[in-house]
């Protein structure tokens, strides 16, 4: 019997829904792409998106911006974080997170990851009292930590929490949407995330002062009364004189593409989770391979899948990645010494002071990651799991430690 192969690309998203294409054409035809270019009482696509995303998350206020990374930097600036300030963040995340901290001249201080791939709350508790100005919490790869305990630790240390929800848009902890636990929640609408406008970002908050500053920072000039999910004009009174314009607005074309996708999110989440659970079931009890358990309080969006190869030698992990690649299954390894494509780790971010993270290093050494685009179906997910399982069994029986 010839070995099964998988032949779909792991980076192919679904097309933009027809309603999004139609709305985009409407914007192109009237030509008013700038968010503040509106006629009379017209509510532009960006302002409408902000209202809809605020409702989706249950937030009082929402601001759409140019990218997820911009959203993170904007949140830090709105909080008044600046040069030399220490900002805690996950030791396991993607480059835009420490990058946003460095963009305001602040210093990233990394917190260890735990076996659930979430932030290690004991390490956070130890580091929270050491003079940091904020926690930028990355729900990396969709893994949400015990948010009740995290907020107790951070509130106890008067540490404001900015949530990086690039991988948890639509997820929740104990029924509270991801992005709604901290003072600000930041999301990305870049192509590989849960909504796709090529590039884009969103910020939500209930804090009127912070949101007024974020809106001014994003480049609203004095046109903020045209927003529909913003604090009242009084909230801008003091800030409008002293808040620099760091332009990073979203435009009406992207917002037009996003609105129909947002309306589809609940159905898309259900599809992602069916793929995720198929892979999980297909890999259960594979010798040498450990699955990441998902807490009952966590509502997941299974847009990617992770598993651990505890104690495997580096060459054995690389062999698994290569053998799966040979059968069309694209795995990413977070333990590689050199940053590759989107994947890098804390010791690759050399603008930050070097830090000792033994737990994170140990876990990342055996961490495998895989995207699950919605162009895959459940039969694809089952096939992918069979391929990984077969290759892991061959290597494990041959000795990997
Ligand atoms: C993609 C991503 C971001 C930044 O989003 P962009 O829109 O690409 O700037 C931030 N954090 C994480 C974890 C991401 O994966």
267-309 per-position pLDDT tens digit: 999 999 999 999 999 999 999 999 999 999 999 999 999 999 9
Q: Which ligand 1 atom is at minimum distance from the Cα of 69? A: 9
Ligand 1 centroid–CA 85 distance in Å is 22
- Does 160 have pLDDT greater than 80? yes
Q: What is the mean pLDDT of the segment spanning 84-111?
A: 98
- What is residue 87's three-state secondary structure? strand
- Does 165 have pLDDT greater than 90? yes
- Residue-wise pLDDT tens digits, 101-117: 999 999 999 999 999 99
Q: Which ligand 1 atom is at minimum distance from the Cα of 201? A: 7
Q: Is the CB of 213 under 6 A from ligand 1?
A: no
- Percent pLDDT > 70 in the chain is 100
- Residue-wise pLDDT tens digits, 171-195: 999 999 999 999 999 999 999 999 9
Mutate to test the pocket of ligand 1, among 71, 90, 97 (most ligand atoms within 8 A of CB): 97
Q: Which ligand 1 atom is at minimum distance from the Cα of 193? A: 1
Q: Is the CB of 140 under 6 A from ligand 1?
A: yes
The overall average pLDDT reported for the chain is 97
CB 303 within 8 A of CB 375: no
CA nearest ligand 1 atom 6, residue? 68
CB 90 within 8 A of CB 138: yes
Looking at residue 16, its pLDDT comes to 98
Looking at residue 85, its pLDDT comes to 98
Ligand 1 centroid–CA 99 distance in Å is 10
Determine the distance from the C-alpha atom of residue 335 to the mean position of all C-alpha atoms in its chain, rounded to a whole number: 20
Looking at residue 337, its pLDDT comes to 83
Q: Is the CB of 124 under 6 A from ligand 1?
A: no
Looking at residue 343, its pLDDT comes to 84
Predicted confidence band at 362 (pLDDT cuts at 50, 70, 90)? very high
Instruction: Name the CATH topology of 265-397.
Output: 3.90.1150
- Does 376 have pLDDT greater than 90? yes
Please list, in sequence order, all residues whose beta carbon lies within 8 angstroms of the beta carbon of residue 19, skipping any fewer than 6 positions away: 260
Q: Is the CB of 197 under 6 A from ligand 1?
A: no
Looking at residue 1, its pLDDT comes to 61
- Residue-wise pLDDT tens digits, 313-352: 999 999 999 999 999 999 999 988 888 888 888 999 999 9
Q: Is the CB of 164 under 6 A from ligand 1?
A: yes
Closest CA to 110 of 130, 37, 243, 53: 130
Please list, in sequence order, all residues whose beta carbon lies within 8 angstroms of the beta carbon of residue 106, skipping any fewer than 6 positions away: 76, 81, 82, 83, 84, 85, 86, 87, 133
Q: Is the CB of 111 under 6 A from ligand 1?
A: no
- Does 401 have pLDDT greater than 80? no
Ligand 1 centroid–CA 165 distance in Å is 8
CB 188 within 8 A of CB 67: yes
- Domain covering 18-263 in this structure, CATH number: 3.40.640.10
Query: Per-domain residue ranges for the chain?
Result: 18-263, 265-397
Q: Is the CB of 196 under 6 A from ligand 1?
A: no
Q: Is the CB of 167 under 6 A from ligand 1?
A: yes
- Residue-wise pLDDT tens digits, 204-233: 999 999 999 999 999 999 999 999 999 999
d(CA 179, CA 147): 11
Give the number of other Cβ atoms within 10 Å of residue 293's Cβ: 10
CB 238 within 8 A of CB 269: no
Predicted confidence band at 400 (pLDDT cuts at 50, 70, 90)? confident
Q: Is the CB of 69 under 6 A from ligand 1?
A: yes
d(CA 137, CA 217): 22
Q: Is the CB of 137 under 6 A from ligand 1?
A: no
Q: Which ligand 1 atom is at minimum distance from the Cα of 189? A: 7
Predicted confidence band at 395 (pLDDT cuts at 50, 70, 90)? very high
Predicted confidence band at 136 (pLDDT cuts at 50, 70, 90)? very high
Q: 179 is written with which tokens? A: 């992005």
Please list, in sequence order, all residues whose beta carbon lies within 8 angstroms of the beta carbon of residue 107, skipping any fewer than 6 positions away: 84, 85, 86, 87, 101, 352, 353
Closest CA to 133 of 91, 77, 206: 77
Q: Is the CB of 68 under 6 A from ligand 1?
A: yes
Q: Which ligand 1 atom is at minimum distance from the Cα of 67? A: 7
Mutate to test the pocket of ligand 1, among 94, 195, 343 (most ligand atoms within 8 A of CB): 94
Mutate to test the pocket of ligand 1, among 65, 66, 68 (most ligand atoms within 8 A of CB): 68
- Quick one: how many helices (H) and strands (E) in the chain? 12, 14
Q: Is the CB of 303 under 6 A from ligand 1?
A: no
């Amino acid at each position: 019997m010839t070995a099964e192969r998988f032949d779909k690309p792991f980076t192919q998203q679904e097309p933009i829904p027809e309603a999004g294409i139609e709305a985009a054409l409407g914007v192109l035809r009237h030509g008013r792409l700038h968010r503040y270019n509106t006629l009379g009482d017209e509510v532009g696509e960006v302002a409408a998106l902000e209202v809809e995303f605020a409702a989706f998350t249950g937030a009082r206020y929402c601001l759409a911006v140019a990218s997820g990374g911009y959203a993170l930097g904007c949140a830090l600036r709105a909080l008044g974080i600046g040069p030399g300030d220490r900002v805690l963040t996950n030791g396991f995340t993607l480059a835009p997170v420490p990058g946003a901290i460095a963009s305001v001249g602040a210093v990233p201080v990394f917190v260890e990851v735990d076996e659930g791939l979430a932030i290690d709350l004991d390490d956070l508790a130890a580091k929270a009292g050491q003079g940091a100005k904020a926690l930028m919490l990355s729900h990396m790869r969709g893994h949400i930590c015990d948010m009740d305990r995290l907020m107790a630790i951070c509130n106890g240390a008067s540490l404001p929490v900015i949530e990086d929800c690039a991988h948890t848009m639509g997820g929740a902890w104990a029924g509270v949407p991801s992005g709604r636990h901290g003072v600000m929640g930041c999301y990305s609408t870049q192509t590989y995330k849960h909504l796709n406008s090529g590039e884009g970002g969103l910020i939500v908050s209930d804090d009127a002062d912070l949101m007024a500053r974020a809106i001014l920072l994003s480049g609203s000039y004095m046109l903020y009364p045209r927003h529909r999910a913003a604090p009242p004009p009084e909230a801008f009174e003091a800030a409008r004189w002293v808040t620099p314009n760091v332009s990073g607005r979203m435009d009406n074309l992207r917002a037009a593409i996003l609105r129909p996708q947002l309306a589809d999110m609940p159905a898309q989440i259900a599809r992602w989770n069916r793929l995720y659970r198929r892979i999980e079931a297909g890999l259960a009890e594979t010798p040498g391979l450990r699955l990441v358990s998902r807490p009952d309080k966590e509502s997941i969006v299974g847009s990617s899948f992770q598993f651990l190869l505890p104690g495997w030698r580096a060459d054995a992990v690389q062999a698994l990645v290569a053998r799966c690649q040979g059968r069309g299954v694209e795995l990413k390894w977070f333990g590689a010494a050199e940053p590759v494509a989107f994947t890098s780790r804390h010791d690759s971010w050399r603008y930050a002071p070097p830090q000792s993270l033994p737990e994170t290093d140990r876990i990342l050494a055996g961490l495998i990651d895989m995207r699950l685009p919605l162009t895959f179906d459940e039969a694809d997910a089952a096939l992918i799991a069979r391929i990984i399982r077969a290759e892991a069994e061959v290597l494990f029986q041959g000795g990997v430690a």
